[in-house]
Structure 1
């Protein structure tokens, strides 16, 4: 029986030295060739300097476009909170739970289309799908400016949910084509940070728009939707020209750099012979029903009760804290907590990249949210409650990057990865649906029900994250005792690839 070490130490061949890669790198980058042995050890060695240069090039060419598109994705979703302050409810004759129902309409379609949208993204390619769906939800946001009753608002929000469903998981899946597992969380944070920035920038933009007298015949809250919708459509058109579908088609990379980009991602996927496989039902189900996918997704569900609740209700919460302030002043008060949240949205995943660990950061983030909601429940002082919003955004906003990176790191094939990320975001948006009913009109101004619910979800996140840590330790120890050769003997290459996370050489990543 061959030892694991015998297949990983190869003599460098100068003929195959490609942009800092030694050995069989060129072959590893091609379809039909594995970049690991059957024990999960990489067959290719990489020059860290060449990798660093390539990574920076990818960062500069890929991340800014998707970050900007996601910024306006979140603005187009959350601007209804700003519109509410500017008179939307009064003009559309909404009362009671009508606002909560409008928010729920968005999440119903958003949840239903999450996984199908991400599989469609894989099928037609992110380079076309991401700007295409951005254009559609930009048009939908623009159209929101012309609704005149509650039913029409429900309808337009339902359609908006269909078109936005593929953005968060689609971009996460897209970036997984370019980055190693340890690198992914930080790169995800560079676009997910646009969610809290959208809260800050959206408040500033809305307050600026509301200072205009009119846009054509449109006034007050309608101006918010029409202007932000036009900006979104313009950015989507630019995206068609700037997004590169995958490393193999990147004209801004040399052939050597393309080989390096493909081989280094492939070298982390045990038994994989092609980075972009065809959609396969067995692999898709492996991605959806991986225990790590389900556990992480439930954590994201709980976290999103807080994150989406802030997106829709922070302006309302600020109004209860500072009821005598002007509408513009209340809009501006929503900005600082989002700025703090944005800082930690990047800082925490950066720590994840350096530590190559996400579970400990789940555990450390949850107490910030718990403390914030305890402050809300324990005090009615304006400064205490406003201070609590800073603690909550500190703990909550990094989970979007961390959870998507976690499910991506714990499956093998591209199909399983697309399905796992789609599942994670789908669960997260079930949390978003719950959040639309967390802050109810009869519970104002102190919102004991909403704050109590969020304290409970943050507490469960802490317990589940500790459980995840021990699951990884215990199950990986069991996997160490497996006889890899005997379990793989007699299996075809396809059967081995279909094992995905059930491959005996696979190890869970914390």
Structure 2
């Protein structure tokens, strides 16, 4: 037991008795060997990650397939003029950002196995019906409703995943989940090219069949998803009671107790300035991402060297590269337990890509411009998962984390509104304004990520100097090491928590002396 310098010998004796009582009964419930723990994590991975990734693939596909539909006659058939196409893109994000914070709070109350399938079914029906639109007004209404319906999925699942995994495990899982969006970017071009051959069937253009077929795919998956989606760890049906207890315990030791619903957690997230810095970093990443997702087929088509089918197919390779970069970057980030520098590096690559697009004549040098698209897509993709994980890693307990992530998603996905209007029809083929604004947002993400990395490192150092480093284990029953360090009364006294109730300690969240930030 660590020695505490105390003048009150009676208090020290009391702590000794409390510690002895603690170690006599704690045996790190329940005990799993390292190999058994790895098998349990793999079991959770196989149950959660693949199906959730499929859901986001469908979500992202339904969100951006309008960019492929544009190449297949959407504007002509609906009589879109001027910037009406950009307006149709914009209204999706207006609906999308409205419900992200309340949906994350609601997910704590509602069962994910019911909530997520319900929103999927709604947006799948809307997507299918969008193929029946005959006017600009109908398209705008459908896109707005689609945004409302889709908005709970991505922030909800990211919040859900960080509620299952420790901080040094979550980035890879969220990256795998998000990489389904890069697959949607790759797969979407090929799928749209194939579906477009249905043009004329039933008197509908190829663009309409893109919406109908992809919407029906979502409806089918939504109907079966209640049998594939699990709830939070304490209620998971695929885990044994011992496994559930172990998962909850390891999460508590990593970030503190999950906690019950308390509006003070929500208020704490809104009053924490870090919520807004992470949100600004995220919009700096998300704005270029959405711009590329919505306009890369158009940008490629306007290079002057490729016809419509070629432009559809050429939008695929950058996203294939982005898929592998996202997985490799997240694996390394979890391995070395670093987040900030990865944002700085990859968003600098994005800045270089946009600088190239601004600095050359894209019509005269289409190969160089296409290479720059690779840099932009490949650089921005790994930062989405990285920043989501970094934000989730930086807040505790569960409800404050969910609210802070909701703030981040609401702010960040507002970047979709901006990206929808900066690539104007009259600016083609160079799109100077669009590229310049994307460059500015990417640069903001670089500088704010560097700032947060420096600040969080200084805060960790301050806590270490004041309280000492948090031990990975204490001596439990029968001399066996236990990771239940947060419950040891001696350590609680050393870290300034003596006499506090569990509720008071829980409310400290990431301000707890036990908490250390990921950098």
Taking structure 1 as the reference length, what is the TM-score of the superposition?
0.89
- Hey, what does 1:124 align to over in structure 2? 110
- Hey, what does 1:449 align to over in structure 2? 433
For 2:270 and 2:333, how far apart are their aligned partners in 1?
24
For 1:439 and 1:3, how far apart are their aligned partners in 2?
64
- Hey, what does 1:378 align to over in structure 2? 359
- Hey, what does 1:254 align to over in structure 2? 240
Larger radius of gyration: 2
- Hey, what does 2:296 align to over in structure 1? 314
Contact map agreement 1:403 1:424 (CA 8 A) in 2: no
Q: Does 1:404 align with 2:388?
A: yes
Q: Which one of 283, 305, 313 corresponds to residue 265 of structure 2? A: 283
For 1:445 and 1:240, how far apart are their aligned partners in 2?
46
Q: Does 1:415 align with 2:364?
A: no
After superposition, residues 189-338 of structure 1 pair within 5 angstroms as 189-270=175-256, 272=257, 275=258, 277-321=259-303, 323-338=304-319
Contact map agreement 1:173 1:421 (CA 8 A) in 2: yes
Q: Which one of 25, 31, 47 corresponds to residue 29 of structure 2? A: 25
Q: Which one of 351, 354, 357 corresponds to residue 338 of structure 2? A: 357
CA RMSD of aligned residues (A): 2.4
Deviation, 1:8, is 9.6
For 1:477 and 1:326, how far apart are their aligned partners in 2?
57
Q: Which one of 484, 506, 510 corresponds to residue 515 of structure 2? A: 506
- Hey, what does 1:369 align to over in structure 2? 350
- Hey, what does 1:141 align to over in structure 2? 127
Deviation, 1:417, is 1.6
Secondary structure in 2 matching 1:436 = helix
**Aligned pair in 2 of structure 1 residues 128, 429: CA closer, same or farther (>3 Å)?**
same
- Hey, what does 2:480 align to over in structure 1? none
Contact map agreement 1:369 1:396 (CA 8 A) in 2: yes
- Hey, what does 1:36 align to over in structure 2? none
Contact map agreement 1:352 1:361 (CA 8 A) in 2: yes
Secondary structure in 2 matching 1:227 = helix
**Aligned pair in 2 of structure 1 residues 388, 326: CA closer, same or farther (>3 Å)?**
same
After superposition, residues 56-135 of structure 1 pair within 5 angstroms as 56-135=42-121
For 1:408 and 1:9, how far apart are their aligned partners in 2?
35
**Aligned pair in 2 of structure 1 residues 320, 10: CA closer, same or farther (>3 Å)?**
farther
Give structure 1 stretches of 5+ with no counterpart: 17-21, 27-44
Give structure 2 stretches of 5+ with no counterpart: 5-14, 468-491
Q: Which one of 464, 489, 494 corresponds to residue 503 of structure 2? A: 494
For 2:518 and 2:498, how far apart are their aligned partners in 1?
26
Q: Provide the aligned length of Structure 1 versus Structure 2.
A: 480
Deviation, 1:184, is 0.4
**Aligned pair in 2 of structure 1 residues 490, 247: CA closer, same or farther (>3 Å)?**
closer
Taking structure 2 as the reference length, what is the TM-score of the superposition?
0.87
Secondary structure in 2 matching 1:24 = coil
**Aligned pair in 2 of structure 1 residues 214, 442: CA closer, same or farther (>3 Å)?**
closer
Q: Which one of 416, 424, 441 corresponds to residue 408 of structure 2? A: 424
Contact map agreement 1:11 1:23 (CA 8 A) in 2: no
For 1:459 and 1:263, how far apart are their aligned partners in 2?
40
